[in-house]
Amino acid sequence: MEDILTKILDYVIDGVSERLQAKIDERGTTKEPKYYSRDEVCRLLHITPPTLLKYTKNHWLTAHRIDRRVLYDAIEIDNAVKYGVAKRKR
């Protein structure tokens, strides 16, 4: 009797783990990087465009040129706030 229960539990656990792994793989492949424009970064950090330019020139933030646009990585902006490079007002 215990042998049958063990087999059933193993079957259920295998099925659940396969579904979870499929969901994890699905979410990992569809996630795209998030970027902010200069105006969005200024609004989020409550700074002016000249201050954003100063942060970029001092390598506190990294600007990425995509086509004609200058964009900032959202993770980098969050880290700048977290580590005190810029202080976001609430």
Tokens of 16: 């659940």
pTM score: 0.57
The percentage of residues in the chain with a pLDDT greater than 90, rounded to a whole number, is: 28
Q: Please measure the distance between the N-terminal and C-terminal CA atoms of the chain and give it in whole angstroms.
A: 61
Express each pLDDT in 7-51 by its tens digit.
888 888 888 888 888 887 777 655 567 899 999 999 888 889 999
Residue 88 predicted with pLDDT over 70: no
pLDDT band at residue 59 under the 50/70/90 scheme: confident
Question: What pLDDT is stored for residue 21 in this prediction?
Answer: 86
Identify any residues that bridge with 63 across adjacent strands, giving them in sequence order: 72
Give the C-alpha distances (Å, rounded to integers) separating 46 from 13, 27, 57.
50, 32, 18
CB 38 within 8 A of CB 49: yes
